[in-house]
Amino acid sequence: MGFFDFFKEKPEGKQEKPQERSGLDKPEEKQEKLDKGLEKTKESFFSKLGKAVAGKSKVDEEVLDELEEILISSDVGVETTVKIIRRIEERVARDLYLNTSELDRILREEVAALLAENKSADVEGFNIPEGIKKPYTILVVGVNGVGKTTTIGKLAARYKAHGKKVVLGAADTFRAAAVDQLKLWGERVGVPVVSHGMNTDPASVAYDAVESGQREGADVVIIDTAGRLHNKVGLMNELSKIKRVIQKFVPEAPHEVLLVLDGSTGQNALLQAREFTKATDVTTLAITKLDGTAKGGVVIGISEEFKIPVKYIGVGEKVDDLQVFDRKAFVETIFKR
């Protein structure tokens, strides 16, 4: 289902509103969506792992070499893979003999440990941290095509479903489609969108969005920003200007800089993360489109390399398929037979 299909008229003239589809998560439904969204990743991983340990009874150097290739091909990343293999080698040396049947458990424990070290369980979604001066302001960054604007629309719907008043700022003014798409999301979700149109000053849009949010008593202001990376200095200057102007209303803003990455691009997502973390102070990550790929291991690699919490993952097209990342549920799902 494409973006615009989401908004088509429903049969018998009944229009289904996004907020009606994005209520508070029921644990069993969230787990079911996660299982389905990560199915391709899990199937690919276990298929390769099964071949690697076939006919072998213990974890030896050959098995570890095979495992290293599997992790890298699953887009976990070279550096993260090396760290995982090193940890398993230490366990093999300590325990002297590890059966291949234990490899699933060992991998699960080590991956969970890495995510815990990177504080990927220490974030809250769709809630505002205590002590924050409202409006809670989020700058959303990411290259064109990763699902940035759609993620913002889904975030707005989820925040609203959790009782929050939301204002959106269309500061990606270099793409007419981005401005129009955000306006469409605003209309369907029922939240105001501050926009000056295409080819206008992004910082001016951000200024007016925060000013509007403060004036209207909004809980959250989410600002879309340009996704160009051909000029890193230009991007850095633009984001710095946006930060300066919104701090005139809320000195601590932005409270969050959310980088949106397309999980289906694998290692390219890692490269994008490197560039954006150089250009601005990214504080949280959203990794989208995991349902259409076997590259879900990129979540592990990105979290480990950048030590930035993964806050959201996208496991489908619907509004409520944007989930708050739960590292324990993620690991259990990946390694669930």
Lowest mean pLDDT among 6-10, 86-90, 304-308: 6-10
Is it the case that residue 13 has pLDDT exceeding 80?
no
**How high is the pLDDT of residue 234?**
77
DSSP state letter for 45: H
Contact present, 221 and 189 (Cβ < 8 Å): no
Q: Considering Cα of 39, then 292, then 72, then 70, what sign does the dihedral take?
A: positive
Segments of 151-242 assigned E as strands: 166-170, 193-194, 220-224
Contact present, 49 and 70 (Cβ < 8 Å): yes
Is it the case that residue 63 has pLDDT exceeding 80?
yes
Which helix H or strand E contains 140, and what residues bound it? strand 136-141
Residue with tokens 């973006």: 3
pTM: 0.86
Is it the case that residue 8 has pLDDT exceeding 90?
no
**How high is the pLDDT of residue 279?**
81
Which comes out higher in pLDDT, residue 154 or 73?
154
Identity of the residue numbered 89: E
Across residues 155-169, what is the average pLDDT? Answer: 95
**How high is the pLDDT of residue 4?**
38
Residues 178 and 180: their CA atoms lie apart, in Å, by 6
User: DSSP string covering 230-255, please?
Assistant: S-HHHHHHHHHHHHHHHTTT-TT--S
Q: Residue 194: beta bridge partners?
A: 169
Contact present, 300 and 113 (Cβ < 8 Å): no
Residue with tokens 């009606």: 20
Which comes out higher in pLDDT, residue 130 or 192?
192
Of 154, 146, 225, 139, nearest to 188 by C-alpha is 154
Which comes out higher in pLDDT, residue 56 or 252?
252
b/e burial code for range 1-14 (CB count within 10 A of at least 16 → b): eeeeebeeeeeeee
Question: In a 3-state reduction of DSSP, which class is residue 257?
Answer: strand
Question: What pLDDT, in 10s, does the model give residues 292-306?
Answer: 888 888 999 998 888
| Strand bridging mode 193-194 / 284-288 | unpaired
**How high is the pLDDT of residue 25?**
66
Lowest mean pLDDT among 5-9, 172-176, 190-194, 329-333: 5-9
What average pLDDT does the chain have?
Answer: 84
